[in-house]
Amino acid sequence: EAQVTQNPRYLITVTGKKLTVTCSQNMNHEYMSWYRQDPGLGLRQIYYSMNVEVTDKGDVPEGYKVSRKEKRNFPLILESPSPNQTSLYFCASSPPIRGGGEPYEQYFGPGTRLTVT
């Protein structure tokens, strides 16, 4: 089954304790990205990656790191989490673009609810 998986689904941690949220897709997609969703602010992009070893900042990258060492995985790293990073996180993937320039739809993971105390 084609899917995007995230782990863990729920995480409660303390300020300053490094954590990694994993994201994996089995569709051989080149493009992957991370979003956070907060009440009243909608989904905001954190980082994205157009291919292996190619990553770039989205709208809210501060406090986050990513890596893309292989095509299927795109982990989100919080080196020193703070309470303002308490949020619902989504990973997404898609092919880059269709012939003719039509953007592909994105496939989203189930979400990771992170609480930082």
Partner 1 sequence: DAKTTQPPSMDCAEGRAANLPCNHSTISGNEYVYWYRQIHSQGPQYIIHGLKNNETNEMASLIITEDRKSSTLILPHATLRDTAVYYCIVRVRGVRGNNDMRFGAGTRLTVKP
What are the residues binding partner 1 (CB under 8 A)?
4, 31, 33, 42-43, 45, 48, 50, 56, 58, 88, 90, 92, 94, 96-97, 100-111, 113
> 10-13 and 112-116: which strand pairing?
parallel
Determine contact, residues 60/77, Cβ cutoff 8 Å.
Answer: no
CB nearer to partner 1: pick between 42 and 117: 42
Residue 90: name the closest of 45, 41, 52, 54 by CA.
45
CB nearer to partner 1: pick between 72 and 107: 107
CB nearer to partner 1: pick between 7 and 18: 7
Determine contact, residues 1/8, Cβ cutoff 8 Å.
Answer: no
- Least spacing, CB of residue 69 vs partner 1, in Å: 20
Residue labelled with tokens 């907060």? 38
- Least spacing, CB of residue 20 vs partner 1, in Å: 19
